[in-house]
Amino acid sequence: MCRLAVENLLYAARKRGLEPGIFCAIHTYGRRLNWHPHVHVSVTCGGLNKHGQWKKLSFLKDAMRSRWMWNMRQLLLKAWSEGMAMPESLTIAGPEAGRLGKLTSPTL
């Protein structure tokens, strides 16, 4: 999950010719110590261009979320097609289940 999050941010930044600073942490639990895998990502509000100059950088939240969801879906579909079993707890459809089937390739 961290790799996908970082790759999405780098993709958007590099399209603008910038290298941002990024660090990421994965948590497998929620506030109530329940199973809730998620990532925390911190990224600089700018990046270095090819001349080493600092330039401001911002990200479009909706575009980044769409790209993240698409890439995560693709990763899971690939893993399942290669024989990874879906955990029993994920076989019950949640509120996002309907949206996963409707995702289209993202554009930034």
pLDDT tens track of the chain, all 108 residues? 888 889 999 999 999 999 999 999 988 888 888 888 888 999 999 999 999 999 999 998 898 999 989 998 898 888 888 877 666 665 555 555 555 444 444 554
Contact criterion met (CB below 8 Å) for 42 and 23:
yes
Q: What is the pLDDT of residue 102?
A: 47
The CA angle 38-41-43, to the nearest 5 degrees, is 165
Q: What's the whole-model pTM score?
A: 0.67
| Number of C-beta neighbours around residue 38 at 10 A | 12
Q: At 106, phi and psi to the nearest 5?
A: -75, 155
Q: What's the rounded Cα separation, in Å, for the pair 19 and 11? A: 10
Residues 6+ apart with CB under 8 A from 87: none
